[in-house]
Amino acid sequence: MTGNGAETTGSEREVKISCRNIWKVYGPECDSYFHNRNGVVEDPAALCERMRLDSHVVAASDVTFDVRVGEIFIIMGLSGSGKSTMVRCLSRLVEPTAGEVLLDGSDLLKASEHELIDIRRHKMGMVFQNFGLLPHLTVLENVAFPLKVQGKSKAEREARAQEMVSLVGLEGRENAFPRQLSGGQQQRVGIARSLAVEPELWFLDEPFSALDPLIRRQMQDEFLRLQRLLHKTIVFITHDFLEALRLADRIVIMKDGQVVQMGTPADLVLRPADDYVAEFTKDVPRVRVITAGEIMESAGDGVDPANGVAAETTLEDLMPRMASHPEGLAILDDGGAVIGRVTPQDIVRALAAADAAAS
């Protein structure tokens, strides 16, 4: 899907959090522009222009999207695009000027201060580029800290913290202090700490951008491993499209506070909405985004499920297997049932079509 509306089709998963016509404007008397319209305006572009002429800064403009239960939803854009503003609006670290944020159907912007504290302590986890570890506490104490804030007993929080330390692969470093850890290890502590409260919703704002490329790749692998185990609902901020490509179920690209395009990685790479999106995706090899499920044909007779692959397998991973299976490979659903077949000819046609669309 492209544009700035909420998605209404294509998913069987329920919506965890919805962003509805969110505006964030900096300047005097910002509320006066909306007159209790809850962010719904007839001509958002005209209103943006008027506010900017009045010397207001529009950090988010009429932003709408849904995040589904268990998905990795990535918000990306260049510096100043509004992506970090949006994740802070979703968590109410920044108060939106107008609009709605619906968490499990309830407007988070109407929550009292006490209710919001409770939601953050029990339903939300947050990881930022700055690890924010407490230097005087050990790894185990850092991870246990949010549980201490919750009022958990010492035994309970240490047991949970130890479980999280093991989950992120830091066994044996429980008594180390942050200064004794590498950057990647510090980020693992931050991730473990955010998961200690068993959040339903996980916000990550460029969590790996301060790491060197090798460690960053390792942390992406670790992140995907954790998601396979935990199935969290995740809102992830990045400016790196290759990182988004590896991690995202869906991506929204922002520019000047507005949504430019929203969809799967393949949607954005193969069908960019404009030159801005095309610039983001121009260096991405098509074999890394086209999946077997997108190009499969009818299974027909005699397809061997023993040589099957998952529908989400990319052509990059599929093509080496084709060398020993020129007749094609079965495509399997999550339950292992055959739902189609892909042949070498299907791959050639798909790549030719992608090249034609890009030219």
In a domain, 75, yes or no: yes
Does one domain contain both 295 and 222? no
User: Residue 210: its pLDDT value, please?
Assistant: 77
What residues in the chain have per-residue pLDDT under 50? 1-10
Instruction: Decide: 294 and 351 in contact? Cβ < 8 Å.
Output: no
What confidence tens digit (pLDDT) does each residue in 215-237 have?
888 889 888 988 998 899 999 99
Task: Specify whether 122 is located in the same domain as 209.
Answer: yes
C-alpha 330/C-alpha 346 separation (Å) is 13
5 occurs within a structural domain: no
Say yes or no: 190 and 240 in one domain: yes
Cβ contact 175:138 at 8 Å:
yes
Give the pLDDT confidence of 133-155 residue by residue, as tens digits.
999 999 999 999 999 988 899 99
CB 306 within 8 A of CB 344: no
- Tell whether 115 and 263 lie within a shared domain: yes
Please check whether residue 18 lies inside any domain of the structure.
no
Question: In whole angstroms, how far apart are CA 221 and each of 126, 162, 216, 224, 226?
Answer: 19, 21, 9, 5, 9
Domain that holds residue 305: 288-358
Stretch (H or E) spanning 343: none
- Domain end residue (candidates: 267, 286, 305): 286
β 250-255/258-263 pair status: antiparallel
Phi-psi region of 55 (alpha: psi -120 to 50; beta: other; left: phi over 0): left
Domain total of the chain? 2
Q: Across-strand partners of 310?
A: 332
Tokens of 54: 């009045």
pTM of the model: 0.84
What pLDDT shows up at residue 7?
Answer: 42
Q: Given 249, 265, 286, which residue is the final one in a domain?
A: 286
